[in-house]
Amino acid sequence: MTDLPAFFRPIYLVSVASTNDEVKDRARTGAPEGTLVVAGEQRAGRGRSGRQWTSKPGNLYMSLLLRPDGDAGRAAQISFLAAVALSTAIADIAPNLTPLHKWPNDVLIQGAKVSGILLESSARAGGAVDWLVLGMGVNVAHHPDDAGQAATSLHAHGITDCTPHTLLGALAPALLNWLDRWREEGFAPLRAAWLARAAGLNGPIRVRLPREEFTGTFRDLDDNGSLLVEQADGTLRTITAGEVFLPRN
């Protein structure tokens, strides 16, 4: 199997319901940070808010157990960390591709979703995070055509010699590198790296909130990872949660 840095404690499984559930079960019974479940397929892969993640064999499905210091707000920065590590790994494997980040948790190639990131965590009394599961799905060999939004895979872009394991071999060190840096230096370098590959920066964006939808200009990320959108009247609006839509180009 793939040679990973010592931090990772990989468990390879052929088929699971969801790698996040596998790691959550282990987290609750005291598994150490670095526990990593990689599965060949998922029978019930999940996105955010109960959405489905198409999980047929051939793609990367993995979940990593982390026990970060601080509260859930700080831990949410790990979704940016995962996106930056993945785009770095893809650009290493395929220098001709330009993977971009879409707020809050997607990686896109030519405007189509190649990856999804799902964080789930549990806090102790007082708010400190007990465990956090970082789930990542990356379309290596194939992607759904009926996802309801544009999807793509690495093979669709000609990177046909890439397998889930070669991708993991590039992704794991990138994750570890950014985890170390985030612990030592905080969010600032991560924010800068995320913005350097942000899709649609300074362009039009549509934001869907539970009770409202509006359009504006995507200007920035704030110090916590919230999205800053300039509205028609010139004021900046801070978006902490919601769906965003970018024009496809």
> Would you tell me which residues interact with ligand BT5 (CB under 6 A)?
18-20, 42, 45-49, 51-54, 61-63, 105, 113, 116-118, 135-137, 139, 143-144, 147-149, 151
User: Least CB distance from residue 171 to ligand BT5, whole Å?
Assistant: 13
What is the distance between the alpha carbons of residues 192 and 45, in angstroms, rounded to a whole number? Answer: 31
Q: Which is nearer to ligand BT5, 113 or 191 (CB)?
A: 113
User: Least CB distance from residue 126 to ligand BT5, whole Å?
Assistant: 28
Q: Which is nearer to ligand BT5, 64 or 176 (CB)?
A: 64
Q: Which is nearer to ligand BT5, 61 or 131 (CB)?
A: 61
Helix, strand, coil shares of the chain, percent, nearest 5, are 25, 35, 40
In terms of Cα–Cα distance, which of 120, 33, 127, 42 is closest to 79?
Answer: 120
User: Least CB distance from residue 192 to ligand BT5, whole Å?
Assistant: 23
Q: Angle 188-196/164-185 helices, nearest 10 degrees?
A: 140
User: Least CB distance from residue 34 to ligand BT5, whole Å?
Assistant: 17
Q: Which is nearer to ligand BT5, 26 or 46 (CB)?
A: 46
Residue 81 φ/ψ, nearest 5 degrees: -60, -45
Which tokens go with 19?
């790698």
Q: Which is nearer to ligand BT5, 69 or 146 (CB)?
A: 146
Residue 152 vs residues 107, 125, 147: alpha-carbon distances, Å: 10, 41, 10
Question: 104, 47 in Cβ contact below 8 A?
Answer: no
DSSP 8-class letter at 194: H
Q: In sequence order, which ranges of 15-66 are alpha helices (DSSP H)?
A: 19-28
CB atoms within 10 A of CB 18: 23
User: Least CB distance from residue 158 to ligand BT5, whole Å?
Assistant: 18
Please give the helix or strand (H or E) that residue 93 lies within, else none. Answer: helix 78-93
CB-closest chain residue to ligand BT5: 116
Question: 142, 59 in Cβ contact below 8 A?
Answer: yes
User: Least CB distance from residue 62 to ligand BT5, whole Å?
Assistant: 6
DSSP-based three-state secondary structure for 82: helix
Q: Which is nearer to ligand BT5, 52 or 122 (CB)?
A: 52
User: Least CB distance from residue 127 to ligand BT5, whole Å?
Assistant: 25
Q: Which is nearer to ligand BT5, 52 or 215 (CB)?
A: 52
